[in-house]
Amino acid sequence: MPATIMVNGVRHTVDVDDDTPLLWVLRDVLHLTGTKFGCGVALCGACTVHIDGVPRRSCITPIAAVGDSQVRTIEALHEVPVGRALQKAWLDNEVVQCGYCQSGQLMSAAALLAGNAAPSDDDIDGIMSGNICRCGTYERIRGAIKLATRQVGGRGDAS
Ligand code: FES
Ligand code: FES
């Protein structure tokens, strides 16, 4: 049954079943393949997007539950200041290894900084603990989040 969703500021009409996960709509219908499939059961965070600014696992979010909410994916993360700062910090800190988990990592980090301008290490670990990285980039991710925090005016040196 057709549904309309707002993704990155654009309204789309998609002809999918109500229980189709948002992840499949993003990747297979809208061809926004920056959002990754990892576990499919809300355990790895690879599929993280923002729904009305809140990080959500798109693999377990049925399209019918999205309604009129605003979905943001990695493809539009640069449109918000914390997203730009994080992406620059990711590059400056050379965070990425294979890269598979990284769009989900960035979306979780952006939601953290949007709500907390000066996160402590515990804040960072708490938010980021749901994003699994098989390459073990956690230390670099934490460093990049602190760097981005400084760039957007937060303390960035919390411990
Ligand atoms: S693919 Fe959604 S949390 Fe792993
Ligand atoms: S960079 Fe390879 S899984 Fe995280």
pLDDT at 158 over 50: no
High-pLDDT (> 70) share of the chain, %: 96
What would the mean pLDDT of 103-118 be, rounded to a whole number?
96
Q: Give the model's pLDDT for residue 159.
A: 31
Atom nearest to 132 CA in ligand 1: 4
Cβ–ligand 1 distance for 32 under 6 Å, the answer no
Most distant CA pair in the chain, distance: 50
| pLDDT for residue 157 is more than 50 | no
How remote is the CA of residue 75 from the centroid of ligand 1, in Å?
A: 18
Q: Which uninterrupted H or E stretch holds 141?
A: helix 138-151
Q: What is the pLDDT of residue 155?
A: 57
* 99 pocket-lining for ligand 2 (C-beta < 6 Å): yes
Residue nearest to atom 4 of ligand 2 (CA): 133
Q: 107: which 2 tokens?
A: 């979306």
